[in-house]
């Protein structure tokens, strides 16, 4: 059974308590067609062209590749939350045997939002410092983990 857990820093807790929800989100961003490529789950493979493996790319590992490719930039916090929720649901439904980290980061005022995800791989370096979210002083961070047995 896949468990869903959540971690935030102080700035994100403030936004979650104080920003009203919005319903305006571009549909193609909220419901992408995920693709499997060299043991990666990606929202877009166009920048990979004819490459067949991570070793042929500029990325050091699959986690870095996924975190770099699997992201969108948005102007408002509520749209970011909507996309994060949609991606989380779709990943749970389509890839229930895999574990994921989904991250929403933004300015403390809720602007300059980035939503991204990658698969959790215990042997790859962490892409985000899960044990020190308060160390991100210049941004608000929300992390959702879709984990089988590992703890976020």
Interval 88-109 mean pLDDT = 94
Q: What is the pLDDT of residue 131?
A: 92
Q: How far is residue 104 from each of residues 98, 133, 143, measured CA to CA in Å?
A: 20, 12, 7
Structure tokens at 98: 């895999």
Q: What is the pLDDT of residue 13?
A: 86
How would residue 6 be classed by pLDDT, with cut points 50, 70 and 90? confident
Question: Residue 43: is its pLDDT beyond 80?
Answer: yes
Question: Residue 102: is its pLDDT beyond 80?
Answer: yes
Interval 35-61 mean pLDDT = 89
Structure tokens at 145: 């983990």
Question: Residue 12: is its pLDDT beyond 90?
Answer: no
Q: What is the pLDDT of residue 51?
A: 86
10, 15, 17, 21: CA torsion to nearest 10: -160
The distance of Cα 36 from the centroid of its chain, to the nearest Å, equals 16
Q: What is the pLDDT of residue 23?
A: 46
């Amino acid at each position: 059974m896949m468990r869903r857990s959540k971690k935030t820093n102080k700035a994100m807790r403030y936004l979650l308590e104080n920003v009203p929800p919005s319903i305006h989100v571009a549909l193609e961003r909220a419901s992408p067609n995920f693709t499997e490529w060299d043991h990666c789950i990606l929202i877009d493979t166009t920048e990979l062209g004819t490459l067949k493996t991570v070793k042929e790319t500029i990325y050091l590992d699959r986690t870095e590749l996924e975190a770099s490719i699997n992201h969108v930039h948005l102007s408002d916090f509520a749209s970011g939350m909507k996309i994060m929720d949609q991606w989380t649901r779709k990943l749970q439904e389509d890839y229930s045997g895999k574990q994921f980290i989904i991250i929403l980061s933004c300015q403390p005022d809720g602007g300059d939002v980035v939503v991204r995800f990658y698969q959790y791989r215990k042997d790859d370096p962490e892409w985000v410092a899960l044990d020190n979210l308060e160390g991100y002083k210049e941004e608000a961070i929300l992390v959702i983990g879709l984990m089988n047995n590992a703890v976020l």
